[in-house]
């Protein structure tokens, strides 16, 4: 007759892995190419996305804004004077205007005042030429891509490389665009559905700084949603909320009612001390996980201009500092992924954890 202890040992032996077998490896954090490999090519161009994929990223990020005729195109902001050659195009000189978006007055040229056909005649250029002079040689080579073109690229590169390349679109200023008759949620949902990305298991995350747009999209789609949370301010669509309150344990529980994760500024996870050095991780990642949320911080950049003083190398703002220290500390903090303008550096750091 088997004793209780003998039976327990037998069960343990029957369920133990064979000596040659290995336990499943822990899933490594995602590397999300912020606007593509935007530290090395003009942002939001297909060449920037292709380079990011070649460097090993898992997701490529397109920011979405609409055209006058309702197409979703990929630009960081609706104002395109700083990222295209529109200012040098005399046929569009009269389109220059001034608008108030989310309380900020902006002057320039805006995607919602152009048809897709018109926008396709423009060419992209580097947004930060002083910090990224090497990117300037690529100015004028590529047009503004549509969201569909980015999805098509991710799909084609997934087939070519044999690994899944996901897309990570951001809805930009949805309240503003709804106010001018160009709401984003329905258009994005239609695109997700048409491309087989309208499910919880699809290789996609949809992000937004606003709350209402994510809640509205949740009613339409099961695609994973990410609430963006900078360190300061609050959502443009809800003056009663602050991002700081949203990232408390109680606030995170409320976010979890409609979203699958948060996208905080990386400094909310890794603050710096008076000496400009990293001081150690906050509890934000652990708090997010406790609420059932993923944590995908943004945006790690290599240039001194974007790094804490103790991690800078030399005095030149464009020179690269010790960005590896930021990657390593974020990975050690348990993030589920991170955004970087230099996905190749993020992948290299991840490969050593």
* Coil vs helix vs strand at 88: helix
Max Cα–Cα distance, the chain, nearest Å: 94
CA 338 to chain centre: 8
Is 71 considered catalytic here? no
Length of the chain equals: 353
Q: Among residues 34, 71, 173, 320, which one is catalytic?
A: 34
Core vs surface per residue 57-78: b (16+ CB within 10 A) or e: bbbbbbbbbbbbeebbbbbbbb
Angle between helices 343-350 and 323-332 in degrees, nearest 10? 50
Q: In what order do the strands lie in the sheet with 294-295?
A: 72-74, 63-66, 170-171, 206-208, 225-229, 261-264, 294-295
DSSP 8-state class, residue 153: H
* Coil vs helix vs strand at 117: helix
As given in the structure block, the two tokens for residue 99 are 């608008």
Is 76 considered catalytic here? yes
The answer to whether the CB of 205 falls within 8 A of the CB of 166 is yes
Core vs surface per residue 82-109: b (16+ CB within 10 A) or e: bbbbbeeeeebeeeeeebebeeeeeebb
92 phi, psi to nearest 5 deg: -115, 10
Return d(Cα 45, Cα 62) in angstroms, integer.
Answer: 9
Residues 6+ apart with CB under 8 A from 27: none
CA dihedral 338, 341, 347, 348 (to 10 degrees): -130
* Coil vs helix vs strand at 323: helix
Q: Among residues 44, 71, 76, 320, which one is catalytic?
A: 76
Catalytic residues: 34, 76
């Amino acid at each position: 007759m088997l004793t209780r202890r003998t039976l327990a040992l037998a069960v343990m032996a029957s369920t133990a892995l064979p000596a040659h077998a290995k336990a499943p490896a822990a899933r490594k954090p995602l590397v999300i190419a912020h606007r593509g490999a935007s530290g090395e090519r003009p942002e939001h161009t297909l060449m920037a996305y292709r380079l990011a994929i070649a460097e090993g990223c898992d997701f490529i990020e397109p920011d979405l804004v609409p055209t006058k005729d309702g197409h979703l195109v990929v630009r960081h902001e609706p104002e395109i004077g700083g990222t295209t050659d529109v200012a040098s195009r005399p046929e569009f000189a009269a389109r220059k205007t001034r608008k108030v978006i989310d309380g900020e007055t902006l002057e320039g040229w805006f995607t919602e005042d152009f048809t897709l056909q018109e926008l396709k005649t423009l060419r992209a250029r580097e947004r930060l030429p002083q910090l990224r002079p090497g990117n300037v040689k690529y100015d004028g080579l590529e047009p503004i891509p549509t969201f569909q073109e980015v999805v098509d690229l991710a799909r084609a590169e997934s087939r070519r490389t044999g690994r899944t390349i996901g897309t990570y679109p951001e809805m930009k200023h949805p309240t503003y665009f709804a106010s001018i008759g160009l709401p984003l949620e329905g258009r994005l949902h239609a695109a997700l559905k048409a491309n087989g990305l309208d499910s919880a298991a699809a290789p996609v995350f949809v992000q937004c700084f606003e709350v209402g747009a994510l809640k509205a999209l949740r009613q339409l789609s099961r695609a994973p949603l990410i609430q963006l949370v900078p360190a300061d301010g609050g959502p443009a669509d809800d003056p009663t909320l602050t991002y700081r309150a949203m990232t408390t344990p109680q606030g995170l529980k409320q976010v979890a009612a409609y979203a699958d994760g948060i996208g905080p500024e990386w400094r909310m996870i890794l603050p710096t001390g008076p000496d400009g050095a990293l001081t150690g991780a906050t509890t934000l990642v652990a708090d997010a996980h406790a609420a059932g949320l993923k944590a995908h911080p943004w945006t790690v950049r290599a240039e001194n201009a974007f790094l804490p003083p103790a991690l800078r190398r030399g005095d030149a703002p464009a020179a690269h500092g010790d960005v590896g220290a930021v990657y390593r500390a974020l990975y050690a903090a348990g993030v589920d992924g991170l955004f970087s303008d230099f996905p190749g550096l993020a992948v290299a750091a991840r490969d050593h954890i």
